[in-house]
Amino acid sequence: MAKAKKLNLKTVLEEIFLEGGISYNITTGEVNPKSGYMVSILGFEKQFDADKITDNDIKEFISANAYDLWGENRFVGGWIDKDNNKVVLDISVNITDMTNACYTGIINKQKCIYDCSNKRNISLPAPQTAGTEVQKKAYAKMKAEQLAYLLETTGVE
């Protein structure tokens, strides 16, 4: 049996480049949850040039966001945006319910969420930009329910 790789702050960047992305919980040490949906939280995303990012950049991001990363459900998310040659870091949460994950992603203006079980991105509709906050949330809820229903019944977005 292969020995599990030890992950720490020094190896997060290495894993991003080897695997294309990572979700790492600094509280529990959990890496890449096997179930649920990873949803990025608006306002915490930071981009770095892929050929210039260093381990120190990862440490500084975690240090600057330590308070918001603390907890069993908070993760440092990292992936490679190949279109722009950037490494993107963010704070994400693991949400077990697909409808809630889609809703949270739409409200947080995310383009997609990550399905941990099936190892795939789920594209999200853009949030409503006009109207009251109540209307925006109602729209997001409706779109999340529609998307979850489609995925659960057909497997297709």
pLDDT per residue rounded down to tens, the chain (157 residues):
444 556 666 688 888 998 889 999 988 888 999 999 999 999 999 999 999 999 899 999 999 999 999 988 999 999 998 889 999 999 999 999 999 999 999 999 999 999 999 999 999 999 999 999 999 999 999 999 999 999 988 877 6
Q: How much is the pLDDT for 9?
A: 67
Q: Which residues, at least 6 apart from 124, have a Cβ–Cβ distance to it below 8 Å?
A: 102, 105, 106, 110, 111, 112, 113, 143, 147
Q: Where are the domains of the chain?
A: 9-154
> For position 19, what pLDDT does the model report?
87
Helix or strand holding residue 102 (H, E): helix 98-107
Provide the pLDDT for residue 3: 45
- Per-residue confidence (pLDDT) for residue 43, from 0 to 100: 95
